Amino acid sequence: MKMFYDELLFQTDKRPWVGELPQTSSNDFQFAIMGDRTGFAIEGKFEEALGLVKNMNPDFIVAVGDLIEGYWQQAEGAHREWDELEAHIKSTGLPFLPIAGNHDYSSVVMKQVWQERKGMDYYAFRYGKVLFLALNTEEPQQSLSPELELAFRETEILSKREPEKAEEVIQALLSNISKQQAQDPSSYQPKPCIGEQQFAFIEKILNEHQDVDWTFVMTHRPIWKTDGTVYERLVQALNSRPYTMLAGHFHKLEVEKKAGNQHIQMGRTGANKHKTGLDEFHHFIWVAVKNGFPSFTAIKLEGTLQLN
């Protein structure tokens, strides 16, 4: 298992991934990408997708973040959510490699829980001649006020108790959050941040693995939409190598090419809709890598959709 992380920064035996990547001498393999499970999870949907993925038997699974509801100010709630989720993940018997999303890493408490359970919040791995960068766009943390945390928990309960009203109560919460941000914009920094330490790691790994056929850059927030400065710096570091960027966050599947490279924004794998009237399906993406080059198919929980 060729895993890489910042050994000086992360002096821990904890790891964010579940399971071990199988050994490979081939440059042909398959993996699945899971989209946002939260917020607010529709009970059983993510687990349904895990079952389908398990039956397809990929070499491993990657997830683009927002795996738990999060936004806890007390660690017990976060640990309970991770315990429940990781039991489902382990039941697949497949290696599972997550990225930190805003729900997973949203406050000082959530960051501490992540580090306690998983150690590092960004890392890289290599499989055959393909390099994967699993990056963290959730610095600095954005805590909810005590009032909004209460509203968040109430929304979580109501969306599960009365799923037909989920869109209505979620919109009310998002409106509430927007009002608070408007009243105190200095307390909220919506742009993702990849700091200097993380960029130093990115540049080191890219420099050490110039021989790969393909590079996957995995973030929670689609930085090509949310932070032009970070995106341009990352593209410069990639230095014209073939790559695919993968992200989530907005609960809508979108695929676009920029400078000849695919940028895939995952939709939902279990999460509720966050936009009124958005008719978006639950899915995961199946990636088949052959001779070092990937092809992508969106697997709807009700069917398939070819992306190439």
Phi first, then psi, for residue 97 (nearest 5°) are -120, 105
Q: pLDDT at residue 1 above 80?
A: no
Strands (E), 118-181: 123-127, 130-134
What average pLDDT does this structure show over 173-192? 65
pLDDT single digits (tens) 203-242: 999 999 999 999 999 999 999 998 889 999 999 999 999 9
| Average predicted confidence (pLDDT) for the chain | 89
Residue 169: band (very low, low, confident or very high) from pLDDT cuts 50, 70, 90: confident
In this predicted model, which residue has the larger pLDDT, 280 or 203? 203
pLDDT at 147: 80
Q: In the predicted model, what is the mean pLDDT of residues 19-35? A: 90
Q: What pLDDT does 102 receive? A: 92
* C-alpha–C-alpha distance, residues 242 and 125, integer Å: 17
Contact 67, 186 (CB under 8 A): no
Q: Which two tokens stand for residue 1?
A: 């298992």
Strands 60-63 and 214-218: unpaired
* Predicted structure pTM score: 0.91
User: Would the pLDDT of 304 be above 70?
Assistant: no
Q: DSSP secondary-structure letter at 194?
A: -
Tokens of 162: 């009365």
pLDDT of 299 reads 94
For the chain, the first-to-last Cα distance in angstroms comes to 29
Instruction: Count other C-beta atoms under 10 Å from residue 10's C-beta.
Output: 18
DSSP string of 154-176, one letter each residue: HHHHHHHH-GGGHHHHHHHHHHH
* Residue 108 in this model has a pLDDT that exceeds 70: yes
Show Cβ contacts of residue 97 under 8 Å, excluding neighbours closer than 6 positions: 16, 17, 60, 61, 62, 63, 125, 132, 134
Q: What is the pLDDT of residue 189?
A: 52
Confidence at residue 119, expressed as pLDDT on a 0 to 100 scale:
94
pLDDT at residue 118 in the model? 96
**Where residue 2 falls among pLDDT bands split at 50, 70, 90?**
confident
